[in-house]
């Protein structure tokens, strides 16, 4: 072999190696904290499932970094003058993964499927929509019983995901085993608890924004192992980085951390009106005791100790950075003396109650910090750690006094408020049914105009902060760790990874 | 042999029936409403009502058991409500993974455990014996999840030799498969090896003090022949029992190890199903593993029969 041919061979080898590296780099591997549930947007229930859907199911609308509504499958929308109809203009030339056209008929089919399918988890979200009209092939109109402000946000989540009618009709309730939507990647395979694989859909309407050939989601439950998999190069991005690992990851130049405040909250729900426990409970009986309990807590310290500083203290259903936060109702400062005085005024000495907490480590730490802080004001807090499903059942039956409960949140504040504090709603574990609060909640739902809606939120916040059925404590940081080679990750507070625009350097 | 087998197989039927009642009955003791747990974060009342109807949750327990048993007898273990896959498909998916992991772990455990036990017994009260005992103590006391994480940090993060997590089918890539399985198999095998070593040692010491061993030595047989052909063969009987039990346990899923290494086997499947109250999966997988466990015990009995001539008389 001559010197020249050796050089030639070497060059070919280098090119081949580079080519194989490029091929490998075109797969995006995302580590999830849990295995998602069924991949059918109508039936899906989990946060992590929503994360997977962003790869395969486009929605009518989407969110931007400030939780503003932006177009996706719909290019625009218009409310009727009485806000009882929403007309959506659809994007032309959009295809589903099975080659079928995404048009107004498909939108009508999907929304009606969400509303009527047995076991649908979207039924409640779309309940105010009475009928859906196909105006023309690219225009659809949603008719409502009454104005419903959260509708746009609802259509920017799973209820706005449009499925192929042909595939959905053929698969029936097994659609989740092979979802067919109009997103950037089409479904390839799922091995439960191991991987979910998608491949690039060449006819995707926004194909220029897609820079990967494949996306693989890998559920790895243990956060230490998830991080180890990222560090060993097996993953490109992981969700739910443990707060205690942030410092370590940030000190390594090979990785980046993305941090954003969640749209949900962490709080303590107090039983003030659900079953006998509400009246047997010192917190449930007297609002002054609840106020004393709140004043015994230092939210900043709780965040530092329970969350390693990776959360934002809060006192409402949305974080202080959210545009819907009520500025007139700021976070109360800790005041142990005032707390003691309130207990004295209420005639309660050393009130004792049980704080039910799920077995997750952050919930346990939170409960312990709360226990220690409240003790200084004279409270005797007993912690009862209970497996999540069991604790939920207790909450559902009103068999608790106080309950540490997190909510993953919805982009519209109504999603954090209505089901939790409106009378007789399924997630209203505190048993709250206050006429003033109810009026404010119902009015904000029916008011599309933002300034007027904010007034109702302010009213609701003012009532809630005195009633205290839920002590909102903080809003966790959604933490993602990823290789520094990955660019284009957008901090959208719903915690979903938009693959559009993501690429490897 | 034939009558022995018939007797043992006939005993399986009532055993499995009782096991099925136990599995179904115990699951009913789990606190919490399964429909509420399955309905997810939003807990839409209509969705809860649908789930209750779908899974006959409003029927009395014996009626529900009847529904389930009918399905089981027709080979239908139901569908996972969480991911909407048939339980039989999930079992078919996880079984090869669990079998491979259990097989590799047992191979490691038997090689280390029996080898170390024989060495320890043969060289009793020497430095080798102490070293092997120390190893056994280490194996028994080291928690699996801790050893697993340490191995990941060393071999995956620090040295970059092995993948930290995941599973590759041996049919797709044998090398990749072994690379993903070696660490979890070692973690599992290490703990079992320690148990096997202790049992092998004590069984061997008992056998080595027997008269027939002295006779064998007096006949001038080599130490190797006495140890391996005469002593070990007899000492193996309790080891077979233990090995079968340990293997059965491995088949029901090595929960923590599978969790740490993200191996998609039975352990992870059952744990997730219990936490999500995915009843069909729990019942189906537990029934399957219980059946496997019972069959392995039957195999162990057959193995005794073959190894121990006294049982054949």
Asked if residue B158 has pLDDT above 50, the reply is yes
Q: For residue A192, list chain B residues with Cβ-Cβ distance below 8 A.
A: 80, 83, 85, 90, 93-94, 264, 269
Asked if residue A310 has pLDDT above 90, the reply is yes
Indicate the residue of A37, A47, A225 with minimum beta-carbon distance to B262: A225
Q: Which pLDDT value is given to residue A323?
A: 93
Asked if residue A12 has pLDDT above 50, the reply is no
Q: Which pLDDT value is given to residue A349?
A: 87
Token pair for residue A109?
Answer: 């089919």
Q: Which pLDDT value is given to residue A165?
A: 97
Q: Which pLDDT value is given to residue A74?
A: 98
Please write the tens of the pLDDT for every residue from A363-373.
Answer: 899 999 999 99
Nearest CA distance, A45 vs chain B (angstrom):
5
Nearest CA distance, A114 vs chain B (angstrom):
12
- Give the residue-averaged pLDDT of A446-450: 93
Nearest-5° Cα angle at A480, A476 to A486: 155
| ipTM given for this complex | 0.77
- Give the residue-averaged pLDDT of A226-240: 94
Stronger pLDDT, B132 or A21, i.e. the higher one:
B132
Q: Which pLDDT value is given to residue A143?
A: 97
Stronger pLDDT, B285 or A90, i.e. the higher one:
A90
Q: Which pLDDT value is given to residue A304?
A: 94
Band (pLDDT 50/70/90 cuts) for residue A156 is very high
Instruction: Give me the DSSP letters along chain B.
Output: -HHHHHHHHHHHHHHHHHHHHHHHHHHHTSSS-HHHHHTTTT--HHHHHHHHHHTTTTS-HHHHHHHHHHHHHTT---B-TTT--BHHHHHHHHHHHHHHHHHHHHHHHHHHHHHHHHHHHHTTTSHHHHHHHHHHHHHHHS-HHHHHHHHIIIIIIIS--S-SS----TTT-HHHHHHHHHHHHHHHHHHHHHHHHHHHHHHHHHHHTSHHHHHHHHTT--HHHIIIIIIHHHHHHHHHHHHHHHHHHHHT--HHHHHHHT--SHHHHHHHHHHTT-HHHHHHHHHHHHHHHHHHHHHHHHHHHHH-GGGG-
Band (pLDDT 50/70/90 cuts) for residue B277 is confident
Lowest mean pLDDT among A155-169, A303-317, B89-103: B89-103
Indicate the residue of B83, B268, B277 with minimum beta-carbon distance to A389: B277
Nearest CA distance, A65 vs chain B (angstrom):
24
Indicate the residue of B31, B84, B165 with minimum beta-carbon distance to A225: B165
The number of beta carbons lying within 10 Å of the beta carbon of residue A449 is 12
Q: For residue A176, list chain B residues with Cβ-Cβ distance below 8 A.
A: 83-84
Indicate the residue of B32, B90, B276 with minimum beta-carbon distance to A393: B32
Asked if residue A164 has pLDDT above 90, the reply is yes
- Give the residue-averaged pLDDT of A314-341: 96
Stronger pLDDT, A24 or A415, i.e. the higher one:
A415
Lowest mean pLDDT among A137-146, A222-231, B29-38, B67-76: B29-38
Q: Which pLDDT value is given to residue B2?
A: 74
Indicate the residue of B46, B167, B259 with minimum beta-carbon distance to A123: B46
Nearest CA distance, B120 vs chain A (angstrom):
36
Asked if residue A142 has pLDDT above 60, the reply is yes
* H-only helix segments in A66-206: 104-116, 151-155, 165-171
Q: Which pLDDT value is given to residue A20?
A: 43
Band (pLDDT 50/70/90 cuts) for residue A1 is very low
Q: What is the mean pLDDT of chain A?
A: 92
- For CA atoms B299, B252, B115, B202, give the dihedral sign: negative
Q: Check CB contact under 8 Å for B45 and A426.
A: yes
How is residue A359 annotated by DSSP? S
Q: Which pLDDT value is given to residue A216?
A: 97
| Beta strand A352-357 pairing with A402-407 | parallel
Indicate the residue of A231, A387, A426 with minimum beta-carbon distance to B44: A426
Q: Which pLDDT value is given to residue B311?
A: 64
Nearest CA distance, B141 vs chain A (angstrom):
22
Please write the tens of the pLDDT for every residue from B205-249.
Answer: 888 888 888 888 888 888 888 888 788 888 888 888 788 778 877
Q: Check CB contact under 8 Å for B44 and A123.
A: yes
Nearest CA distance, B166 vs chain A (angstrom):
7
Token pair for residue A286?
Answer: 């007297």
A7 in helix, strand or coil?
Answer: helix
Stronger pLDDT, B90 or B246, i.e. the higher one:
B90
Q: Which pLDDT value is given to residue A6?
A: 52
CA distances from A232 to A99, A194, B163, B258 (A): 39, 18, 7, 19
Please write the tens of the pLDDT for every residue from B244-268.
Answer: 778 877 776 577 888 888 888 888 8
- For CA atoms B136, B141, B143, B146, give the dihedral sign: negative
Q: Check CB contact under 8 Å for B84 and A38.
A: yes
Rounded CA gap, B193 and B186, in Å? 10
Please write the tens of the pLDDT for every residue from B16-51.
Answer: 889 889 888 888 877 777 787 777 777 788 888 888
Q: Which pLDDT value is given to residue A24?
A: 46
Indicate the residue of A45, A174, A392 with minimum beta-carbon distance to B42: A45
The number of beta carbons lying within 10 Å of the beta carbon of residue A168 is 22
Q: Check CB contact under 8 Å for A37 and B54.
A: no
Stronger pLDDT, B52 or A351, i.e. the higher one:
A351
Band (pLDDT 50/70/90 cuts) for residue A73 is very high
Q: Which pLDDT value is given to residue B267?
A: 83
Q: Check CB contact under 8 Å for B41 and A45.
A: yes
Band (pLDDT 50/70/90 cuts) for residue A263 is very high
Asked if residue A193 has pLDDT above 90, the reply is no
Residue of B nearest to A193 (CA): B264
Q: Check CB contact under 8 Å for A427 and B156.
A: no
Q: For residue B275, list chain A residues with Cβ-Cβ distance below 8 A.
A: 387-389
Residue of B nearest to A234 (CA): B163
Tell me the count of A-B CB pairs closer than 8 A: 146
Which of A36, A481, A486, A492 is CA-nearest to residue A240?
A481
The residue to which tokens 């993501």 are assigned: A502
Rounded CA gap, A127 and B65, in Å? 36
Rounded CA gap, A270 and B46, in Å? 26
């Amino acid at each position: 072999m001559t010197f020249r041919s050796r050089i030639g061979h070497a060059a070919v080898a280098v090119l081949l190696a580079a080519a194989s590296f490029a091929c490998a780099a075109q797969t995006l591997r995302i580590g999830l904290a849990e295995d998602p549930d069924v991949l059918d947007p109508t039936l899906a229930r989990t946060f992590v499932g929503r994360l997977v859907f962003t790869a395969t199911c486009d929605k009518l609308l989407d969110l931007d970094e400030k939780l503003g509504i932006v177009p996706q499958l719909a290019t625009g929308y218009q409310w009727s003058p009485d806000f009882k109809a929403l007309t959506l203009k659809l994007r032309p030339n959009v295809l589903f993964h099975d080659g079928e056209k995404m048009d107004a008929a498909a939108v009508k089919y999907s929304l009606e499927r969400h509303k009527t399918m047995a076991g649908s988890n979207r039924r409640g979200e779309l309940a105010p929509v009475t009928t859906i009209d196909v105006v023309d092939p690219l225009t659809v109109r949603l008719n409502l019983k009454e104005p419903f402000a959260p509708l746009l946000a609802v259509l920017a989540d799973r209820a706005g995901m449009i499925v192929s009618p042909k595939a959905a009709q053929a698969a029936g309730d097994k659609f989740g085993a092979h979802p067919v939507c109009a997103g950037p990647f089409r479904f390839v395979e799922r091995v439960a608890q191991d991987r979910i694989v998608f491949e690039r859909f060449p006819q995707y309407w926004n194909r220029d924004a897609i820079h990967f050939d494949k996306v693989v989601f890998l559920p790895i439950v243990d956060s230490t192992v998830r991080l180890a998999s990222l560090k060993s190069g097996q993953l490109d991005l992981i969700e739910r980085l443990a707060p205690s690992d942030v410092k370590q990851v940030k000190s390594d130049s090979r990785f980046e951390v993305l941090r954003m405040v969640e749209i949900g909250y962490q709080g303590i729900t107090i039983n003030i009106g659900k079953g006998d426990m509400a009246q047997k409970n010192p917190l449930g009986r007297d609002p002054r005791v609840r106020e004393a309990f709140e004043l015994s807590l230092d939210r900043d310290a709780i965040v530092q100790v329970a969350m390693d500083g990776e959360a934002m203290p809060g006192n409402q259903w949305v974080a202080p950075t959210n545009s819907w936060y009520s500025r007139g109702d700021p976070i109360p400062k800790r005041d142990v003396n005032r707390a003691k005085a309130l207990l004295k005024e209420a005639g309660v000495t050393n009130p004792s109650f049980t704080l039910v907490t799920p077995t997750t480590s952050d919930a346990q730490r939170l409960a312990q910090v709360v226990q220690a802080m409240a003790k200084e004001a004279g409270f005797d807090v007993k912690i009862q750690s209970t497996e999540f499903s069991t604790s939920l059942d207790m909450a559902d039956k009103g068999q608790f006094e106080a309950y540490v409960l997190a909510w993953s949140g919805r982009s519209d504040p109504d999603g954090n408020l209505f089901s939790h504090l409106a009378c007789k709603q399924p997630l209203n574990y505190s048993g709250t049914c206050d006429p003033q609060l109810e009026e404010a909640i119902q009015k904000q739902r029916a008011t599309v105009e933002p300034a007027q809606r904010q007034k109702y939120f302010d009213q609701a916040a003012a009532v809630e902060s005195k009633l205290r059925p839920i002590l909102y404590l903080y809003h966790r940081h959604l933490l993602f760790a990823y290789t520094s080679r990955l660019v284009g990750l957008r901090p959208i507070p719903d915690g979903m990874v938009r693959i559009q625009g993501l690429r490897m350097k | 042999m034939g009558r022995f087998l018939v007797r043992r197989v006939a005993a399986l039927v009532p055993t499995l029936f009782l096991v099925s009642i136990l599995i179904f009955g115990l699951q009913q003791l789990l606190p919490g409403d399964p429909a509420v747990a399955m309905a997810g974060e939003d807990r839409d009342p209509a969705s809860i009502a649908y789930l209750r109807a779908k899974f006959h949750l409003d029927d009395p327990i014996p009626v529900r058991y009847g529904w389930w048993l009918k399905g089981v007898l027709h080979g239908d273990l139901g569908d996972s409500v969480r991911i909407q896959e048939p339980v039989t498909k999930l079992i078919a998916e996880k079984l090869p993974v669990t079998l491979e992991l259990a097989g590799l772990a047992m191979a490691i455990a038997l090689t280390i455990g029996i080898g170390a036990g024989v060495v320890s017994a043969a060289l009793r009260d020497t430095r080798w014996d102490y070293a092997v005992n120390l190893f056994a103590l280490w194996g028994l006391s080291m928690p699996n999840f801790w050893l697993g994480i340490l191995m990941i940090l060393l071999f995956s993060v620090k040295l970059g030799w092995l993948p930290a997590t995941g599973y590759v089918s041996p049919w797709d890539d044998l090398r990749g498969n072994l690379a993903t399985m070696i660490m979890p198999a070692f973690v599992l095998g290490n703990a079992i090896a320690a148990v096997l070593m202790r049992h092998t040692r004590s069984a061997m010491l008992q056998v080595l003090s027997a008269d027939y061993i002295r006779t064998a030595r007096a006949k001038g047989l080599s130490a190797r022949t006495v140890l391996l052909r005469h002593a070990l063969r007899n000492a193996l009987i309790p080891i077979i029992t233990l090995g079968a039990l340990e293997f059965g346990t491995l088949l029901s899923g090595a929960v923590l190890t599978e969790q740490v290494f993200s191996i998609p086997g039975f352990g992870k499947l059952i744990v997730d199903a219990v936490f999500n109250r995915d009843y069909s999966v729990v019942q189906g997988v537990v029934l399957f593993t219980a059946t496997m466990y019972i069959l392995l015990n039957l195999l162990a009995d057959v193995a005794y029969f073959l190894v121990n001539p006294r049982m054949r008389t």
